[in-house]
Structure formats: C-alpha cells, structure tokens
Amino acid sequence: MRGLTVFIADIRNCRVRELEEKRINKEMANIRTKFKEGSLSGYDKKKYVCKLLYMYILGWDVDFGHMEAVNLISSSKYSEKQIGYLGVTLLMHENSDLVRLVVNSIRKDLDDNNEIHNCLALHAIANIGGREMAEALAGDVHRLLVSPNSKSFVKKKAALTMLRLFRKHPDVIPAPDWAERITNIIDDYDLGVCLSVTSLITALAQQYPEAFMMAIPKAITRLHKVIVERDFSADYVYYKIPIPWLQIKLLRLLQYFPPTEDPNMSEMLHNVLQTIINNSQETPRNVQHNNAQNAILFEAINLAIHLDCESDIVRQATNILARFILSRETNVRYLGLETMAHLAAVTDELDEIKKHEETIILSLRDKDISVRRRGLDLLYSMCDVTNVKTIVSELIRYLHIADYALREEMVLKIAIMTEKYATEYSWYVDVILQLISSAGDHVGEEVWYRVVQIVTNHESLQEYSAKMVLHYMRSPHCHENMLKVGGYILGEYGHLIANLPGASPIEQFNTLHARFGLCSLATRALLLSTYIKFVNLFPEIKGAILAVFNQYRHVLDAELQQRACEYMAIATMPTDDLLQTVCEEMPQFTERESALLSRLNEKTNQTEDKRTWNIGGKDSNEKTPANLLAAKENKENGSVDDLVAGVNGATISATGGATEEAAQGTNGAAATASSAATPAAPAAKAGLTWKDQLAPGHEVWYNRLRDGSDGVLYEDSILQIGIKSEYHGHLGRVAMYFGNKTHSQLNSFAVTVEAPEGLVVVNSHTLATSIGPSTQIQQLYSLECQQIPTEVPLIRISYQAGSMQSIYLKLPVTLTRFLEPIQLSSADFFARWKQIGGAPREAQSIFKSTEKINLERARAVLVNNRLGICENVDPKPGNFVATAVFNTSLNGKVGCLLRLEPNRDTDMYRLTIRTTSDVVSKHLKEILHTALL
C-alpha cells in the first residue's frame, strides 16, 4: 500500500507537533471525503482504515471509520479481513454499540472451515471480550476447543480465548457442564494444546474444584509421561528441559485439589517429585537451564508440601531450601524464602526451619525489597511461642531502617505475632506501645483499637497499661496514636495508678492536655471524652477541666463544640447521678476475629490465581482451596478427615469396613428434622422433650465418653454408634458414625439432634436413608456455644429393621467441652480468687469418693475436662488448683477458677469453684462432682 507508506514517511518527517497535526488533519479530511463518496474498493477501504489505525496508535482521536472496519470483516480476502479485525479490536471497546454488528460476522468466521479465519475471530473475542459477546459466542469457542476436527493452533487460541472470557465474566461460562470434555484435552498429543488447556483448567478449577476433580489423574499421568517416561516432542525442549511451562502449570494445578486417594496415582506422583528432586542435583549448563530447572523444582517442592509436609521428599527439599536462601542469586534467594515460608505455614514441626533463623533475619537487610518481603513473610510464618520474642525484637529493631513501603505490613505482622504468641500480657503491652512510639505513622487504627480491646478484657493488665502509657506520653516525641491509646486507657483506668508517684490526677490531666492543641480534631474529641471521665474519677481537678470545656464551647468545629457543651452541662449538674451513669466503666468487648488479620488478608485481584496457601501459621491455612474441597468431599462421602480417624474401639464387629456400595449411598435424602446447614434445634426451649425416653443402659456408654475421650457411644445387636470430637473456643465439631452389624440392610434411617438452649448444632450434609449389611456411614455436626448450656444435647436414631426402631441417647457435649485451659501464677490466681468472691459465684461441694482417692486419677479428670492445672500454687501438696476460660459467641468469656482438696485419710474431696457466672459455677461443680465420684 504505497499511499500508507508515503503517509507514514510524511508523519515521521514532521519535526514539530504542529506540522504533524496539520498533516493528520489533512489526511483525516481526505479519508472522510472518500468514505462519504462511497463505492470504494476493498483495497482502498483497507488502505484508509490502516491510515486511521496508525493515527489512533499515535494517540490522535479517531471518531469515524468504524463501519468501514466492520465491513472489511465480511471480506473474503485474508488481508482485508485481517485489517478489519485489527480495526475492530483497536477502535471498539466492550460496551460499544457497534459490537452487536460484528457478532454475526465473528460467528460466521468461527463456523468457517478456514483455520485462519477461526483464529482472527478468536483474537477479536479475546481482545474485546464484552459480556454481550461472551454470552453470544462462548458456545462457539467451546465447540472449536473440543472439536476433534480443530487444528492444534486453533485449539490453543480457543482455550486462551475462553480463559479470557472466564476471567472477565465467570458467570457466562457453564464450566461444570463443560468440565469433562475440557479436561480430556490434557491428553492431547500436542503439548502446546495441553499447555493452553492447563492454563484454562487452572482458572476454572479454582471456582469449580469439584467439577474438575477428574483432572487430577490426567495431570499426574501427563507429568509422569514427560518427566519419568521422557515421552515428549523435541520441539518443546527448552535448554535440555522438556516443556518446563507445562510441568510448572500441572504441578500448580494439583495444589488446588486435596491429595489423591488412588494408590497408583500417589505412587506415580511420588516418582515424578522424586525425579524432579534428583534432576535438580545436576549442574546447570547455563543461566536459562538453571532458571527452568529451579522453576520446576520450587513448584514441585510446593506440591510436595501440599501433599504431605512430613514426607521424605519434603525433608530432602528442606535441605535444598537451606542452600538456596544462602545463594548469591537474588531470584533463587527469593524463591527459597517463599517456599520455606510455605513449609512453615503448614507444618507442625518448625525445628528444621528454626536452624536457619539467623540467615532469615539477615534477609531483612537484603538489597532487594522483594527478598526483604519474603524474609518478613517467612519470619511471620515460622513464629511460635518459643521464638516470638526474638523475632519481634529483631523486627522492631529493623523497623527504624525499613523501607516505607514495608513498614505498615511489618507493624501489622508484629502486632499479630505479639498478640497470638504472647505468654505474658505485660510483654504484649510493652511491644505494642513501643511499636506505636517508634512507628506511629505506620500504625493503623486497627492496631490501637486492638490493644484497647485486650486491655479492657483483662483486668490484670489495666493498671500496668495505664502506668506504661503515661510513661510513653511523657517522651519528647509522643505520636498522636499514643495519645489516643493514652486518652482511652487513662480515662478508664487512670484511677488505678492515681496514688503512684508522678501519676496523680492533675499530672495525668496535664500530660494529656499538654499535647491537646497539637493533635487532630478527632483526637481532641476523644480527649474531651477522657476529661469528662476524669471529672467523674477525680473531682479534685474538676475546675481545670471545666475551664477546657468552657473554652471549647465556642470553637468552629461542630463535633468539638457539641461535646464541650454537653460535657459542660453534665459536669455542672446539681447531682452526679447522670455523670456516673454516663461514665460507667466500659464492659468487656465480645471476642471476634482480629481486625488485624482481616487487614492482612486482603483479597488479591480477581484476575490472579488464588493462593494455594496463606502466609502465617497452620491455622491460617485451614481455608485454602484444597482444604475446603477436601472437607466438602469427606462430608459428601460420609467421612471426615482427621476427626474420625483412629476412633478407639470403633470398628464394625460383624465384618470389615464399609463396602463401595455403601460409600456411594451416602448422598440420600435428608435424615434430620431440619434441612442441611440449618440449626438442628431452635434457639430457645423450656427443656428437652426426649429426656424421659433415653435408651436403657445409655448411662454406661455415656459415662465412658463424658471425660472427653472418643469411642463407642452405643452398641446393641443391630447398631453400633461411634463418636469423635474436637473443640476450639466456642466452636466444636462432632463426627458420628453408624454401623450396621447385621447381614441385612437397615432402611428409613434417620438421625435428629435436639439441642438445649444456648447451643446450636448444624449438620454438614444429608445422611443416607439406608445402611447396607456390615457397612457404616458417617455424619459431621458443627457446634456453636452461643450462651451457657445447662443440659447436654440429645440424639434420636430411627430405622426400620422388621419394624420401626428408635434409640434416644445423650451426646457427651458438656459445658466443659467449651473450656480453654490457661495458666496463672500464684499471685494472679489468688488475686482473681478474691475478686470473684463468694456466693453466688462460688459453688462448693464436699463429698466422699466411692473408691480410694488416687491423685493421678483426679488430675486426669481435671485435664480431660479441659482445665489447666497450675503447679505450685496451692501451698499444700496434693491439692489441685486449675484455671480455664469458658467461651460463648454471644455472652463472651467466663473466667473459671478451681480448687480441689483431697483428703486421702478419709477419702473425701472438697471442690470449690469460682467463676464470673453463677450458672457456670453451679454446672461446672455438678459435672466435676460426678466425674470424681
């Protein structure tokens, strides 16, 4: 196209913008005239559209020529069709009105037998990618992808086009319906097609993991062929390494699924990973070979950690990672630290990683900020009770010289580690106040909110916090966030230190007010609230505070003016009744997920792959995609992961385990009175209705499990019922299995739970309505203790064996299951013991044991009921002192203190319990009294 060549040359010869603009305007006028005249040949249209596209690329606005580009798409000549598609993709956006005009032309090219036309149409769909186009053409793209007649390069483009559409409009793609045919393409002979489809499946599997479970064996088989069997085309060898991109993508895809239960697949995958580990020991031939080899190795290590973090392969990998974090190459150090952070985030055994603690701390001073970030992530993941003080002190020391881009993240992680692993609350306060003092600009609202919540909820911390915050506020460089913390804590607990030297009421007031004029309006408003609390706590400084209120009654800011006027009115009333009511001590905050964790775990961009693991400890990785899918699969298959594994004495005595037919039969109709994922009992009841219908002899089975052990809850000649449970805070999980001991099927099987007031029980899935001969099925229940339960839940099991049978049992879910043991020193224990006082919060029982007193048995009873035994607290040997916290979701926490005094001469016990709730005291005494008899 000579005219286009001349035009481009003219533009390039323009030395100033004015000349270029003049030439552009002249050419645009000429093109507009030509288009108006009509009757242009395809060649001329192509030439003029090319000129418009060149102007557009240079940055000039092009507001005409769109229809000519659309018309070129319908041309039968490739060169004209190509320019038409190029014009459409550049000049139109996804919401353009003209997009509707090209949909039919694109569909026609998708249906064409010409592969080149197919590819041009796919390019246009991927580049424009609007919702309307996706809804109209997604089916055609899928057809090209799965068609056996499509060429390899068309399939590759179709897979990537569908990936683009899915990322922009995931609801348009019916992925579960197409899963099987898409997954089968992993077996395609062309590795390029396999690579493209793996990228698509990786994205789809993150949203529809169950539908793409069939990809697991195909991915493992393809990896085995490429890595172990060396079955690949020479066209895909990159510096002696076969198609490294496919290897990496397949290894990553497997991390979105739980480990396979097929032993053959597991063995193949083990061979693949071991081969990759062995190949990594080879000396790299050049930089490219080294990069590809390391990329595969790190993804293989991540997969090995995902499958089993205690495996032999992971132990080999740990030694490799130890070398990598010392490497001179920045990329290798980065990947080594990141992969080691993955291992630290999921393993229970951190000793091997802790050996390299000094090296990891030194990485914080690396010249590359990305390496410093990964070092910080690793320290955060490997932190536990044993090394928290070392890590936190190093991070605070490094905070002063850290990059500004890194400081806010460091502050959040220091605050979370300190709260999570602090063994002493005073140390927690020291660290947070030091953090606010040294990095106040980077301390978000969440940090000081959290410290205020913790101080409010722990009485033993209040005096110490008030003293320390007053000390920090007297430093020459007191940050405004410190002033906020100080204002709140002194306003609530300043009276606890009022008698200490240097902490008199007027000195507390003067310390706060000295910085009053330098802080923001929001902080001043908070300090005015502190001052009205001072009026209530310290009447002797009322005059000085009223002067401040009077001064701020006339400021321009409406918030400050309103507060000053209202506080002035309250403080000058004839009586102090309203003042005392308004300034009552703040109640304890309800326990909830820390806002610090929410801030740290902000979601990534929607177009990115989901993380297969989360930075942090093992508890941070309970909700990874693979773990969630594994839990759901186990529920649907009538089993639970570690919850029912190894139930002592819980085997079917008639024959072996469940048959395959029974495993497939667990997706039957609902077997509970309420639907799945709904509470199995109403929120409040006057009492349980089945108490008088309990099965004969149930107490024998119940008493065996009452102390927290797991095993058989009930057994007769027909049915065996086992139970296993775990609890954390106010939440619990109970797994029950039901075994048919007979040689005939049990029909109309149903299970219903009746929960007492304050306890919510939710069943995980619908239970099978029949149990085959000599087989078993399982059911998982989630428990939430909302208030103080005064009874245990009941369960009814009904089935047809000749006639309808019903069994009513008590579930061993006592109040003690929601206790968390804690440790207190002797001074703290007796201080709290005195604070709680006597009746009604004290419950005492003196009783005679039915057998010779055994101190070890008594200790076991306390431990099994989740009470923390405090050693060397009671001066008399043989006496027990224990502490715990009872957790509820609605009523907060209840502190529990216990003294057990056995008299071995008379075989008598004196059991004394003091808690902050008289109801808890009463029922805890009854439970332990029964257990100790």
- Binding site listing: 2-3, 34, 43, 47-51
> What Å distances lie between residue 196 and 143, 155, 183, 185, CA to CA?
16, 8, 12, 10
Identify which of 106, 196, 188, 184 has the alpha carbon closest to the alpha carbon of residue 156: 196
Distance of CA 82 to the CA centre of its chain: 47
Give yes or no for a contact between 154 and 191, defined as CB atoms under 8 angstroms apart. no
Q: How far apart are the first and last CA of the chain?
A: 102
Give yes or no for a contact between 726 and 813, defined as CB atoms under 8 angstroms apart. no
Cβ atoms < 10 Å from Cβ of 786: 15
Q: Where would I find the H helices in 776-901? A: 826-836, 855-864
* Residue listed under structure tokens 């229940």: 781
What number of CA atoms fall less than 13 Å from residue 807's CA on the CB side? 22
CA 920/CA 591 separation, integer angstroms: 18
Give yes or no for a contact between 697 and 716, defined as CB atoms under 8 angstroms apart. no
* Residue listed under structure tokens 């006639």: 803
SS3 294: helix
Give yes or no for a contact between 900 and 879, defined as CB atoms under 8 angstroms apart. yes
> Does residue 476 have a cis bond before it (omega within 30 degrees)?
no
CA 927/CA 140 separation, integer angstroms: 67
| H or E stretch at 781 | strand 776-785
* Residue listed under structure tokens 């239970």: 767
Q: Where would I find the H helices in 770-841? A: 826-836
What number of CA atoms fall less than 13 Å from residue 30's CA on the CB side? 15
SS3 897: strand
CA 803/CA 801 separation, integer angstroms: 5
Residue type, 352: E
What number of CA atoms fall less than 13 Å from residue 426's CA on the CB side? 6
CA 690/CA 688 separation, integer angstroms: 6
